[in-house]
Amino acid sequence: MRTQVAIVGGGPAGLLLSHLLHRQGIASVVLESRDRRYVEHRQRAGMLEQGTTDVLRGSGVGERLDREGLVHHGLELRFGGTGHRIPLTGLTGRTVTVYAQTEIVKDLVARRLADGGDVRFEARVVEIDPAAAGVTYVQDGRTRTLECDYVAGCDGFHGVSRPAVPGLRTFVRDYPFAWLGVLADVPPSTDELIYANHDRGFALHSLRSSKVSRLYLQVAPDEDLAAWPDARIWSELAARFATGDGWELREGPITDRAITPMRSFVAEPMRHDRLFLAGDAAHIVPPTGAKGLNLAVSDVTMLAAAFTERYASGSEAPLDGYSASCLRRVWRAEHFSYWMTTLLHADPAADDFARRLQRSHLEYVVSSEAAATSFAENYVGLPAAP
């Protein structure tokens, strides 16, 4: 079997890359180790920068996004019992959109299959040859080999693509806290996201739809999920979001819960021979800045353009520059995510001096237009590099 581009991983990065290549007449095969139902239902956040929504709309998969996505023009930073709105659109002219990653995956799977795309579920990749551009995988109990011109590793942090690159340099930062995230069947208590800094820990009120809320609590990395029954979760959320203006948190049935550790990670370079890394296979960010999915979309958009140039003109210059170009954006997003994480979370090792510095910085962000603008332009996403 042979194709032009073998794509390892059928998440949003791999599926979008396949879709973008198809629109340019470039053949690809997507190999995904899980079944279709698992891929379409795994819970992930979905805060989309305007650049991401522009890519989805421009490639013809934005119809349901436009119909169901929740466009946000601002967000709230809440600390000291008071909320402070950051007018994202007013400061930058851009927006962000809440649209669940699960829905993006469903849209992309449906489009790839409707277009006759080759998406192979339950196809577990066991070996990648970056030099020969070959992929060995197991499906239906049989071992098969897919030959190709190039391999795109879009299989996430725990995938097989990154270990296939020798001599990688990695950069890691682990955080002394995690997020307890819940999905609840209750209308959101806010029209825009609330990021709350509290002595008891960080909290985030996000939205999934007009009827479903997504909420998060800072907890210890080794927290036992069983120690958090519904009543304790709602009580702690209410305490961390509390204000003096009568605002109330709506409660409802919790349908999903999980604890997510927080880490920053970057692997360099993002290319070795004919293997290219994209998305979480090359970098992860703490979720505070909502950059993970957006970085993945940026990566594969750039990679699709580089492949298009290669097959159209024969030039490999964009492919040669792929890693350096991606990493400039990655490191900016890494810094913003690190900055926002340390700004809003309660560090268990912090002394009184550090806590006062944190409060001073929060007050500066909400009182200075220059500081708020810097925050806003990073949050909505910086324009793509020329």
Supply the residues annotated as catalytic.
72, 195, 287, 291, 379
Helices (H), the chain: 12-23, 36-41, 50-58, 63-68, 88-92, 101-114, 230-241, 292-313, 317-320, 322-344, 352-367, 369-380
DSSP code of residue 358: H
The string of DSSP codes covering 64-77 is: HHHHH-EEES-EEE
**HSE-CB of 120 using CA atoms within 13 angstroms:** 16
Q: Where are the alpha helices (DSSP H) in 26-160?
A: 36-41, 50-58, 63-68, 88-92, 101-114
> 114, 27 in Cβ contact below 8 A?
no
End-to-end CA distance of the chain: 37
Tokens representing 383?
């324009």
Query: What are the DSSP calls for 246-292, one per residue?
Result: --------EEEEEEEEEEEEEEE-SEETTEEE-GGGTEE--GGG--H
C-alpha dist (Å) from residue 230 to 130, 210, 235, 305, 318: 48, 21, 9, 47, 51
60: exposed, middle or buried (C-beta count within 10 Å: 0-12, 13-18, 19+)? exposed
Q: Could you tell me the two tokens for 106? A: 């469903």
The candidate with the shortest Cα–Cα distance to 17, out of 1, 35, 34, 32, is 32
Q: Tell me if 9 sits within 8 A of 153, measured CB to CB.
A: yes
Contact 3, 150 (CB under 8 A): no
What residues form DSSP beta bridges with 275? Answer: 151, 272
The vertex-370 CA angle with 369 and 375, nearest 5°, equals 95
